[in-house]
Amino acid sequence: MTQYFTEERSAEAVNGCMGETTDPRIREVMACLVKHLHAFAKEINLTQAEWQVGIDFLTKTGQICSGERQEFILLSDTLGFSMLVDAINNRRPPGATENTVFGPFHVDGAPIRSMGDTISLDGKGESCLYQGRVIDLDGRPVEGARIDVWSDNADGFYDVQQPEFQPKWNNRGIFATGADGSYSFIGIKPVSYPIPDDGPVGQMLNRLGRHPYRPAHMHYLVTAAGFQKLVTHTFVGDDPYLGSDTVFGVKTSLIAPFEPATNGRTQWQSTFDFVLTPG
Amino acid sequence: MTQYFTEERSAEAVNGCMGETTDPRIREVMACLVKHLHAFAKEINLTQAEWQVGIDFLTKTGQICSGERQEFILLSDTLGFSMLVDAINNRRPPGATENTVFGPFHVDGAPIRSMGDTISLDGKGESCLYQGRVIDLDGRPVEGARIDVWSDNADGFYDVQQPEFQPKWNNRGIFATGADGSYSFIGIKPVSYPIPDDGPVGQMLNRLGRHPYRPAHMHYLVTAAGFQKLVTHTFVGDDPYLGSDTVFGVKTSLIAPFEPATNGRTQWQSTFDFVLTPG
């Protein structure tokens, strides 16, 4: 006799429907997703009205997405799901610099600059010298590492968010290390900013009693032949949102010193070494 | 010292962020959702590439939604989530007619018809007399029950899917029971049909090796003062898709007899009693 869907074996009924030639990984991922989605509804006794709220929320989240806005990534970020996937896929040995979320504001093709150059082009903000070395787990310098950096400006916006107000490539640049693995560039001391909160995700955060802010940070994408790609930030240690980053990107090891400068050129300086993992 | 997000305590980190004044039910539902979503990613070791497939899928699913199309409901239906929520919220005592999914094709305000009237207006299909009684758990007739019925036509489409080809209110009608609780109307023997499968959900079903068909069924929404609302179907027992309804709506108790008619008016007849639950 055919076994029809029942509340008790709901996930089994759904997962039992998959074809025999279905890709094994797709089968495994979907079966696991269905199992957990059903367990969620059962554990919480989800009501029809709550289900409708969920349908409406997902629909609005999809409909606000555009070429410039990805609200589902924002949702994944604010539910800690992006950080979790990042963590699962970037487990590192002790001593290696840790990953954090990539974020939506990286742009390929930033200008290649010389060590010591300034990336801040709009004359705003408090200047900061960023310096340190790219090294391996044994402390040896990594030559030819490519360091792609980006941050918001002093008003809390990335250049791509304000194409009419900021110079193109403001607070962006790519640097390559020499034989000693060292790097240096001048940017601004970044500022904390809210993620876009005028859509469904902002409404969700509001209903959850959460703020939309990210603590101030400088983004880094560091790549070098023979090493794992490093996607990370350094965080300004005295930021009031450090303990409540709305996308959960902060790790203790990524909080960098931002100190009054002694170099005569900038107001602040921040020294941080990037330790790459063999890959 | 602040506890930052870690892979191990990822859900706790996210759920610990909620405000103290957050509505208790919202807090409970969201905490449970986050817990299960994170458990899913961990159990399956979700890759970054798979995460991206998920983001793209949800985005496309939202963007195909319109006033006439609700792809997220279709997703919920095809993952058995709609049936599960229906089951959780409509547990019935033994002997009561069971619920099943409402579906997207009900329209408010169908014509009120007299017992015995015909709801099929396009002259297509094999005619069928539907008859039976609306009764309570003790078998007593329910007077004044409102029976709202709807089905596809012989081509497998509801009138609202073909506003230019089908008469308005084709295969729809509302009937009210008298003192004996009995009902009767003439429709067609419904046919199986695919759910809309030209969007992301159709692609998903294809990747899972699943077909998009629903077995033939007649929809019922039965309401009466003092009783729980009954949303259900009756299914044609010899349908080839009965064991693999793509939205998992079939229950053994809802498979109705569809027999060659002995009434001299129609080709088929189907007798089914609706047993209402006090509410």
Q: Which residues on chain A are in Cβ contact (under 8 Å) with B72?
A: 55, 58-59, 62
Residue of B85, B89, B102, B205 to mutate, interface with A, max A Cβ within 10 Å: B85
In a domain? residue B119: yes
d(CA B227, CA B142): 10
Q: Do A72 and B81 touch (CB under 8 A)?
A: no
Who wins on pLDDT, A184 or B238? A184
Position A276 confidence tier, pLDDT thresholds 50, 70, 90: very high
Q: What's the whole-number mean pLDDT along residues A152-173?
A: 96
Average pLDDT score over residue span B161-172: 96
pLDDT given at position A1: 57
Mean pLDDT of B72-83: 97
> Which two three-digit tokens encode residue B193?
């049909």
A31 and A143 in a common domain = no
Beta bridge partners of B221: B148, B231
d(CA B267, CA B252): 24
HEC sequence for chain A: CCCCCCCCCHHHHHHCCCCCCCCHHHHHHHHHHHHHHHHHHHHHCCCHHHHHHHHHHHHHHHHCCECCECHHHHHHHHCCHHHHHHHHHCCCCCCCCCCCCCCCCCCCCCCECCCCCECCCCCCCCEEEEEEEEECCCCCECCCCEEEEECCCCCCCCHHHCCCCCCCCCCEEEEECCCCCEEEEEEECCCCEECCCCCHHHHHHHHCCCCCEECCEEEEEEECCCECCEEEEEEECCCCCHHHCCCCCCCHHHEECCEECCCCCCCEEEECCEECCEC
Same domain, B135 and B262: yes
The answer as to whether A69 is a domain residue is no
Biggest CA-to-CA distance, chain B = 84
pLDDT at B104: 86
In terms of domains, do B261 and B139 share one? yes
User: Do B261 and B144 sit in the same domain of this protein?
Assistant: yes
Residue A13 sits at the chain B interface (C-beta within 8 Å): yes
Whether the Cβ atoms of residue B192 and residue B241 lie closer than 8 Å to each other: yes
Total number of domains in chain A: 2
Residue B27 has pLDDT above 80, yes or no: yes
**Is A55 inside any structural domain?**
no
Residue A57 inside a domain? The answer is no
Task: Give the amino acid at B269.
Answer: Q
- Give the residue-averaged pLDDT of B225-247: 96
| Residue in the block written with tokens 């001048």 | A186
Asked whether B233 and B249 are in contact (CB, 8 A), the reply is yes
Domain range enclosing A164 = 93-194+213-275
Instruction: Identify whether residues B40 and B128 lie together within a single domain.
Output: no
- For the question of whether the overall pTM of this predicted structure is more than 0.90, the answer is yes
Closest CA to A247 of A206, A207, A211, A199: A211
Structure tokens, A260: 């009054």
Indicate the range of A2-11, A28-37, A149-158 predicted with least confidence: A2-11
Q: Is residue A169 located within the same domain as residue A104?
A: yes
Structure confidence by residue, pLDDT tens digits, B33-69: 999 999 999 999 999 999 999 999 999 999 999 987 8
Pair A38, A164 in one domain: no
Rounded to the nearest angstrom, the minimum Cα separation between A189 and chain B is 22
Task: For residue A244, give the nearest of B17, B58, B60 by CB distance.
Answer: B17
CA distance B249 to B217: 10
Helix%, strand%, coil% for chain B, nearest 5:
30, 20, 50
Instruction: Tell me, yes or no, whether B120 lies in a domain.
Output: yes
What's the start-to-end Cα distance of chain A, in Å? 53
pLDDT > 90: percent of chain A: 97
| Helix axes of B48-63 and B200-207: crossing angle, nearest 10 degrees | 140
Residues of B in contact with A81 (CB under 8 A): 37-38, 41, 51
A225-248 b/e with 16+ CB inside 10 Å = b? eebbebbbbbbbeebebbebbbbb
CB contact under 8 A, A208 and B27: yes
pLDDT of residue B1: 57
Residues B130 and B234 in one domain: yes
pLDDT confidence of residue B67? 84
- What pLDDT digit, counting tens, does each position of A102-139 carry? 988 999 999 999 999 999 999 999 999 999 999 999 99
Triad A14, B233, B190: Cα angle to 5°: 100
Same domain for B27 and B124, yes or no, is: no
Could you tell me if B26 and B154 lie in one domain?
no
The answer to whether the CB of B150 falls within 8 A of the CB of B204 is no
B169 and B40 share a domain? no
* Best of B88, B231, B235 to mutate (most A CBs within 10 Å, chain A): B88
- Determine the residue type at A27: R
Of A13, A27, A210, the CB nearest to B18: A210
Residue that the structure tokens 């012989």 belong to: B154
Q: Indicate whether A29 and A163 sit together in one domain.
A: no
Looking at the domain assignment, is residue A207 inside a domain? Answer: no
Determine the distance in angstroms separating the CA of B151 from the nearest CA of chain A, rounded to an integer. 22
Tens-digit pLDDT profile for residues B174-195: 999 999 999 999 999 999 999 9
Contact A59 B65 (CB under 8 A): yes
Structure tokens belonging to residue A106: 């990286």
Closest CA to B161 of B174, B152, B148, B171: B152
Q: What's at B214, amino acid-wise?
A: R
Q: What is the arithmetic mean of pLDDT over A62-88?
A: 95
CB < 8 Å to B233, chain A = none
Could you say which residues from 44 to 83 on chain A have a Cβ atom under 8 Å away from some Cβ of chain B?
44-48, 50-51, 55, 58-63, 65, 70, 72-73, 76, 79-83
Partner-chain residue, chosen from A46, A58, A245, that has the shortest CB–CB distance to B62: A58
| Residue B77 domain flag | no
Per residue in B103-117, pLDDT (tens digit) is 889 999 999 999 999
Whole-number pLDDT of residue A67? 84
Q: How confident is the model at residue B258 (pLDDT cuts 50, 70, 90)?
A: very high
What CATH number is given to the structural domain containing A173?
2.60.130.10
Average pLDDT of A140-166?
97
Q: Kindly state whether residue B16 falls inside one of the protein's structural domains.
A: yes
Query: What does pLDDT average to over chain A?
Result: 96
- CA gap B157, B136 in Å, rounded: 33
